[in-house]
Amino acid sequence: MGTATLALMIYVAIIIIWATVVKKNMAEGMILGFLVVGMFGGKNALGFIESAFVSALSNEVLFASLAFILMSYLIKESELLEGVLNIFDSLLGRFRGGPAFVNIGLSAIMGMLSGSNSANTATSGAFTAQWMIRTGWKKETVATLLAGNGGLGAGFPPSASMFIMLGFAQVNSLITVEELYIGLFISGVYQVIYRIFLVFYLMEKNGIRSGTSREEVSVFKALRNHWKSLTVFLGAIVPLLVTTGPLGEWLAAIGLEEGMSSVSLLTWIPILMITIILVLGRKNLKKNIKDTTYLVDTLFVHYKDIGGILLFAFAASEIFSKLGLVNELVTLFGSLDFSKPVMVLIVGMLVVLVAGPLSSTATLTSIGLIAFSALLSVGVSPLPAAVAILVFASTEGASPPASGSIFIASGLTDSRPEKTFIPLIKYFVVPITAIGWLIAMEFLPLFV
């Protein structure tokens, strides 16, 4: 066993013990893990620690992740999110099973905004939980769907898990930001398609025969009153159009290739979306954000943990890179002599099991790099490997018994959490793991 592999094992152990045994703040565990890993640099330890910390501070992914947190906060305070909800209601509210489809759509939208499974479950559930129960769904089934659909918070870009993967030097040297963004988006579409079929199945099983719109608002009226809310997504659409696809190719052909190549999705998507929110929601932001004290009290809680986790995860990955971790892991897994399908399944099960007691971000922080190296060692291409790992980790919201999404969903539906455990494993954990396996095996293409 090499020095870097030993350092990784100790690093993983520190993070898991800190989160599950000591039960302290994850960011604190990340700091401790980073310092311990730095000590493996021997006489160069202090230099390793200093250079890795400085490199992490200048990491574009760190800026983007914090910017997306701000964007998620502002869209709620600006009340633009309510407009999106009303449009979804008008489109699907009167259809059979409409509230369940609205929950899927809203979870996907929130996944592209917040990247948080628990926040996803709370936001979509607050809007759809009682609505679904009123239209005939059983409480436990509603809680199962809310918690399971909440996993789209990590299943769609941008997400903290995606930022962690991009922050690993061993990953971003093989995959571009644009490739991972689009690849994860396509995998999210696969998950949405599965959830749609699941709702149809559960509607038959539960005898759901009709839908009732929350406010009986026509699509035309909803779009007329709230169309401005949809313009927020131009902040993501425009940078994607000018850097990829036919428009990007045309701009490159007329001599703007150098300029377009300097457009960073991770930088410009949150900047443009925040700008649009500030312009469109300025009146409600002034009304809802009463003063600077309120701003600090309500915004800081979103930053205190994720900022520290990301910063020191990136810093630790820089040290692992200097220690030569990838070469050691590729050699190690290459010696195990597992076939590709078996290794992908083993890695998937490992990620899912770790994601049970931990969050998807903590899972990727602790074993994301070793999982990536393991998949590469059996011939999985870098992009499908990274996307599959993110899909495996997105089961966190549906993994009993420690998932916060389960208890949020149970609280919203006044149901017993333990009654959702087996359905969640059956309807979400196993099928989503299978989707990740199919992506890694390239049976489900990413079109990137």
pLDDT truncated to tens, each residue of the chain (448 aa)?
A: 678 888 878 887 887 788 778 777 777 888 898 899 899 888 888 988 998 898 888 877 677 767 777 876 787 788 887 777 677 667 766 677 778 888 888 788 777 765 567 767 776 776 677 778 877 888 899 989 988 988 887 788 877 778 788 888 778 889 988 889 899 999 999 999 999 999 999 988 888 766 555 555 677 888 888 888 888 878 877 876 776 667 666 766 676 666 666 666 667 777 888 899 899 988 999 888 888 888 888 888 767 666 777 788 778 878 887 887 767 766 776 677 788 999 999 889 888 877 765 667 767 877 788 889 889 888 899 999 999 999 998 887 777 765 667 777 877 787 777 788 889 999 999 999 999 999 999 999 997 6
pTM here is 0.68
Write the DSSP string, 150-165.
TTHHHHSSS-HHHHHH
Q: Is the CB of residue 405 less than 8 Å from the CB of residue 146? A: yes
Write the DSSP string, 348-371.
HHHHHHHHTTS-HHHHHHHHHHHH
What tokens appear for 67 in the block?
């910017």
Q: How far apart are CA 240 and CA 190, in angstroms?
A: 20
What tokens appear for 109 in the block?
């939208």
CA-wise closest residue to 316 among 21, 99, 51: 51
Q: How far apart are CA 434 and CA 424, in angstroms?
A: 14
